[in-house]
Amino acid sequence: MYRLSTSGPVVIGQGTVESFGMRLRIYLYAVDGLLIDTGPRTLGQHLPGFLDRLPPLDRVVLTHLHEDHSGMAAFVAWRHRVPVYCLDTTGIAAGERVRLPLYRHVFWGTPEPFVAKPLGDAVETERYSFHVIPTPGHATDHVALYEPNQGWLFSGDLYLGPRVGPVMRQESLPALMDSLRRVLELPFDTVFCSHAGPVAEGRAALERKLQMLADIQGQVRELAARGWSMRQVTRHLFPREPLITWLSMGEWSMRHVVRSFWPRG
Ligand SMILES: [Zn+2]
């Protein structure tokens, strides 16, 4: 189920997915008729309970197309007759079926396709005006929503938590660092993260995350310059292989953290 709470006018739904001995939290946010992300299909049966406690919806914005965010977009669009907006309106957001690796299908479920509208520079609701901030890194189509008057940053998967964990093969951590720098230029204080929830002192948390990434980048570059191999650097900096690396057959790995920072040329 989704546990309901509020932060000012923002309604928060917190769900938990458990599979393969792992637990992952999901946070959905709704404010002034806007729903930010829709959660995975594996929590789909609980979504109506959350939606029915919200004031009427006008639109859905997806921070990116990963299945734990877009999983129920088709359902919400159909049930509430509302448009779905996202940056990348191809693939699943253009009505095409996707095929996920089995572990992702089991954990999050495979989203139903939907037809999205392209996200512009801003999302205007009755009371608020959200700036759309492209924040690639975790995914190329990732955006954050920033409300300057309220100091809110809906950060999708930009932050994720205080530690640097395994990342997916396609992620670019240098791009993620640029995205963190871009949002840190904005005056915000409340960060609404899709997996860590509302982050107290969000600015300081994002600054710490950026610093942590910069430290890892520095270590990777230094060891690479000494002639270490990517494998040696990974073993040295991250001696323990997380469970997800085995489950995902390497799609999620600390190795990709090192590879992402590996000096080129
Ligand atoms: Zn994601």
Residue 141 to residues 13, 29, 174: CA-CA distances in angstroms?
A: 23, 19, 15
Say if 102 falls within a structural domain. Answer: yes
Compute the average pLDDT of residues 41-68: 97
Residue 171 φ/ψ region, left for φ over 0, alpha for ψ in the -120 to 50 degree band, beta for the rest = beta
Average pLDDT over residues 88-106: 96
Based on the structure, what is the number of domains in the chain? 1
- The vertex-168 CA angle with 164 and 173, nearest 5°, equals 55
178 within a domain of the structure (yes/no)? no
Q: Tell me what the pLDDT averaged over the chain comes to.
A: 96
For the cut 90, the answer to whether the pLDDT of residue 80 exceeds it is yes
23, part of any domain: yes
State in Å: Cα 138 to ligand 1 middle. 6
Residues whose CB is under 5 A from ligand 1 (ion)?
66, 157
SS3 160: coil
Which tokens in the block code for residue 252?
A: 């999620």
pLDDT digits (tens, 9 = 90+) for 15-49: 999 988 889 999 999 999 999 999 999 999 999 99
Asked whether residue 52 carries a pLDDT value surpassing 70, the answer given is yes
Q: Residue 190 pLDDT more than 90? A: yes
Instruction: Quote the ligand 1 centre to 218 CA distance (angstroms).
Output: 25
- Residue (of 100, 8, 4, 104) closest to 54 by Cα position: 4
- Return the CATH number at 103: 3.60.15.10
Compute the distance from residue 73 Cα to the ligand 1 centre, in Å: 15
Q: Answer whether residue 29 is part of any domain.
A: yes
Domain assignment present for residue 17? The answer is yes
Compute the distance from residue 157 Cα to the ligand 1 centre, in Å.
Answer: 5
Tell me how far apart the alpha carbons of residues 38 and 15 are, in angstroms, rounded to a whole number.
11
Map tokens 């871009």 to a residue: 182
* Residue 48, domain extent: 1-119
Return the pLDDT at 189.
87
Residue 33 half-sphere exposure, CB side, CA atoms within 13 Å?
14
pLDDT over 90 percentage in the chain: 95
For the segment 214-263, what is each residue's pLDDT rounded down to a tens digit?
999 999 999 999 999 999 999 999 999 898 999 999 999 999 999 999 99
Q: Tell me what pLDDT residue 265 has.
A: 67
The answer to the question of residue 219 being in a domain is no
Is the model's pLDDT at 151 over the cut of 70? Answer: yes
**The tokens 């990342």 sit on which residue?**
167
Tokens representing 237? 């900096």
pLDDT of 194: 98
Phi, psi of 161 (to 5 degrees): 155, 170
Confidence of residue 210 (pLDDT cuts 50, 70, 90): very high
- The answer to whether residue 181 is domain-embedded is no
Which of 167, 164, 161, 163 lies closest to 197 in space, CA to CA? 161
Asked whether residue 252 is assigned to any structural domain, the reply reads no
β-strand pairing of 152-156 with 190-193: parallel
Q: How many angstroms is it from 246 CA to the middle of ligand 1?
A: 19
pLDDT the model gives residue 85: 98
Q: pLDDT tens for residues 100-119?
A: 999 999 999 999 999 999 99
Q: What are phi and psi of 79, to 5 degrees?
A: -70, -35
Taking residue 94's Cβ as centre, other Cβ atoms within 10 Å add up to: 12
For residue 186, the CA-to-ligand 1 centroid distance in Å is 22
Whether residue 130 is predicted with pLDDT greater than 70 in this model: the reply is yes
Q: What is the phi/psi pair of residue 5, to 5°?
A: -150, 180
